[in-house]
Amino acid sequence: MKHVFIVNPNAGKEKYKDFIVCAKRLKNDYDINLEITTKPEEIGVVIDKYKNLDDFRLYSVGGDGTINGIINCILSKKMNKKIPLGIVPTGTANDVSRYIYNEESWNYKKNLPLLLNGKEKKVDVGKVNERFFLNISSIGFDANAAKEAYRFKKLRFFPSSLSYYAGVIVALLKKRPLHFKILIDDKSYSHKYLFVVIANGRKYGGGVTPTPEALIDDGIFDICMVKDVSRLNALRILPVYIKGNHTGLSMINMVKCKKISIESAVDVELNVDGDIYTIRKADFEIIPGALKIIVPQK
């Protein structure tokens, strides 16, 4: 079996270099190819290079954004077979691997052989408009915070673990109430919201837990809708929200669904696994079992 690693050198402040050293040490035991990609469009070129092989696996070496780029290439190409995807977390937050592997950090020397020999598992994928996502999408203030956090992540000497919190503070200073029309399955909502989270996974932002009950293979979204509150109340809610203990608060609605549509009269930020877009309407659907991921041997 051929193991193809798509390596993003721009993720995680050069953590990928340690991975490459580990991978090269295993080349005598495994058929490993390392593909360095610096632009999203290069991912598709790599997949096309190997897609006709009978037996190969893809691996994402980077952060959650790298994973998102790969799954969009895989699913948009509508291939006849599902390409198994392994995750090697070298980004700053690595929330997808935290959830799937149930580990805060991932040791390459110890775990890489376990991943290469791992089993395949079908998981759900979310779709918003024409974009696929594996973990979490959000709209409103939260997406604006993610946009600001990205700027902090790129600062060389700024601690990556504090990027999300710095982004929240900046976004709070720019906060504005947003009126959303929301259709969840067959039920409609119309209110001023701070933000709405549409989750397939459970964590984002470096460990923040908006949807503590979410499962990546249950065929449904977990939705967290936060009504608009003052800046002071938002700061009070934040510590509870981070830990996932917010689900009983009066200003928060937690819903499960398969489809959700959100509409705004003004341009708003949309976060899709860390990538930020500006939209006025977003249509979401869950696609059960759309992707195979590789789970390391225990």
How far is C-alpha 54 from the geometric centre of its chain's CA atoms?
A: 29
Q: Each residue of 51-62: pLDDT tens digit?
A: 888 889 999 999
Residue 79 pLDDT > 70: no
Written out in words, the top-level CATH class of the domain with range 2-117 is alpha beta
* pLDDT of amino acid 81: 67
**76-80, 106-110, 172-176: which is most confident:** 172-176
Domains of the chain: which residue ranges?
2-117, 133-288
Q: Each residue of 151-201: pLDDT tens digit?
A: 887 777 777 767 878 888 898 888 887 999 999 988 999 999 999 999 999
Backbone angles phi, psi at 82, to 5 degrees: -85, 125
Model confidence at 63, pLDDT cuts 50, 70, 90, reads confident
Specify the higher pLDDT residue, 150 or 245.
245
Specify the pTM: 0.90
* pLDDT of amino acid 270: 96
H, E, C per residue of the chain: CEEEEEECCCCHHHCHHHHHHHHHHCCCCCEEEEEECCCHHHHHHHHHHHCCCCCEEEEEEECHHHHHHHHHHHHHCCCCCCCCEEEEECCCCCHHHHHHHCCCCCCHHHHHHHHHCCEEEEEEEEEECCEEECCEEEEEHHHHHHHHHHHHHCCCCCCHHHHHHHHHHHHHHCCCCEEEEEEECCEEEEEEEEEEEEECCCCECCCECCCCCCCCCCCCEEEEEEECCCHHHHHHHHHHHHHCCCCCCCCEEEEEECEEEEEEEEEEEEEECCEEEEEEEEEEEEEEEEEEEEECCC
Task: Please choose, from the candidates 283, 271, 281, 273, the residue with its C-alpha nearest in 3D space to the C-alpha of residue 70.
Answer: 273
Q: What is the rounded distance in angstroms from the CA atom of residue 202 to the CA atom of residue 209?
A: 6
Model confidence at 146, pLDDT cuts 50, 70, 90, reads confident
133-288 fold: Tumour Suppressor Smad4 (2.60.200)
* pLDDT of amino acid 228: 92
Residue 125 pLDDT > 90: yes
* pLDDT of amino acid 209: 93
Q: Each residue of 212-248: pLDDT tens digit?
A: 999 999 999 999 999 999 999 998 998 999 999 999 9
